[in-house]
């Protein structure tokens, strides 16, 4: 076993298999692609390979090819709500930025491909005098990511305005699922293994003025409560599962951790459930802060915090142990 440029330890045979699978693929393919520029936290090692499908058909073809191998894959949208470890991501990272088509099908329905910006969708809905996605203006990321995480704000979430979701399964089959079949939960959903490629939203008519007022309120609330001047990944932990409990941010504030710093990562002074990158932070810095937050809240409040942020990739220690 050895290291190829970028630092990921892989078997030579796996590397050759991946090159063969991606040979003459329709979308753009990049090897050893740094992940930090693709995440809102601006942290992370390299992707062994990154692929940019140009259409849903390209996604189907890619999954059909990958299904015949043991090559792992990870789907990347806008890079929010994500921490990529310092050792990078082995296998194939599938970036959906080219899937950005939107179709207004009438009666308040918007069919949107997964790579389209969720905040931009909020603006587009307003232009069509359609209400229901005002909250999306303050949620960075893509439609696919918002659906996968059932992104939302207190009182509103993505699943509540979904009509159906289309997924390309891990064996390359394109299937459409109703909202009921998706089974949306708090910050999660129960979808088959594979890739969300599009979603249909069912919205209702409203005046542009009323929609704008709601959107402005969401933007102001976000600006007033979140540390938008530093790279961050959004909320680190889910809020506890009962309205009677304080939010995760309040719990972290109550155990006196706001402003605490490890390396170049710090818990925001503005919001206790945000970790910010002060410049040059590593994933290890962030993980150390997360461990501290979990430990302190559990010891002092008896509440186990559950991560909302998705952690992917491998640590440098894992690579070093596997190299020779």
Residue 183 catalytic? no
Residue 235 catalytic? yes
Marked catalytic residue, from 187, 198, 200, 233? 187
Non-local CB neighbours of 296 within 8 Å, separated by 6+ positions: 252, 255, 257
How many C-beta atoms lie closer than 10 Å to residue 53's C-beta?
26
| 24 dihedral zone (left: phi>0; alpha: psi -120 to 50; beta) | left
Residue 256 catalytic? no
Non-local CB neighbours of 36 within 8 Å, separated by 6+ positions: 42, 43, 44, 84
**Three-state DSSP class for residue 147:** helix
User: In terms of Cα–Cα distance, which of 2, 79, 62, 1 is closest to 26?
Assistant: 62
Calpha distance 186→175 (Å, rounded): 23
Residue 131: enclosing H or E segment and its boundaries? strand 130-131
Residue 169: enclosing H or E segment and its boundaries? strand 162-169
Non-local CB neighbours of 259 within 8 Å, separated by 6+ positions: 266, 267, 268, 269
Strands 89-95 and 73-76, by their bridges, are: parallel
Marked catalytic residue, from 117, 131, 233, 235? 235
Known catalytic residues are 187, 235, 308
């Amino acid at each position: 076993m050895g290291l190829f440029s970028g630092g990921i330890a892989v078997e030579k045979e796996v590397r050759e298999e991946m090159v063969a699978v991606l040979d003459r693929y329709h979308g753009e393919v990049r090897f050893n692609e740094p992940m930090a520029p693709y995440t809102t936290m601006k942290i992370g090692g390299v992707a062994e390979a990154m692929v940019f499908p140009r259409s849903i058909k390209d996604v189907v073809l890619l999954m059909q090819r990958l299904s015949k191998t043991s090559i792992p894959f990870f789907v990347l949208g806008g890079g929010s709500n994500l921490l990529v470890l310092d050792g990078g991501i082995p296998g194939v990272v599938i970036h959906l930025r080219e899937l950005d088509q939107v179709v207004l099908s009438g009666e308040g329905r918007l069919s949107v491909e997964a790579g389209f910006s969720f905040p931009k969708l909020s603006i587009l809905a307003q232009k069509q005098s359609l209400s229901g996605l005002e909250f999306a203006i303050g949620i960075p990321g893509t439609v696919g990511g918002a659906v996968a995480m059932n992104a939302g704000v207190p009182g509103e979430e993505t699943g509540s305005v979904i009509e159906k979701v289309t997924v390309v399964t891990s064996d390359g089959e394109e299937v459409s699922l109703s909202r009921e079949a998706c089974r949306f939960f708090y910050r999660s959903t129960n979808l088959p293994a594979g890739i969300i490629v599009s979603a249909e939203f069912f919205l209702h008519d409203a005046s542009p003025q009323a929609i704008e007022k709601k959107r402005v309120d969401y933007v102001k609330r976000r600006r007033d409560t979140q540390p938008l001047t530093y790279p961050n990944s959004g909320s680190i932990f889910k809020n506890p599962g009962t309205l009677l409990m304080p939010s995760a941010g309040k719990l972290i504030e109550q155990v006196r951790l706001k402003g605490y710093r490890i390396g170049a990562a710090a818990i925001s002074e503005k919001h206790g459930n945000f970790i910010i990158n002060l410049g040059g932070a590593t994933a290890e810095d962030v993980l150390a802060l997360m461990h501290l937050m979990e430990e302190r809240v559990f010891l002092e409040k008896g509440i186990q915090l559950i991560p909302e942020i998705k952690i992917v990739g491998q640590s440098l220690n894992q690579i070093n142990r596997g190299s020779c």
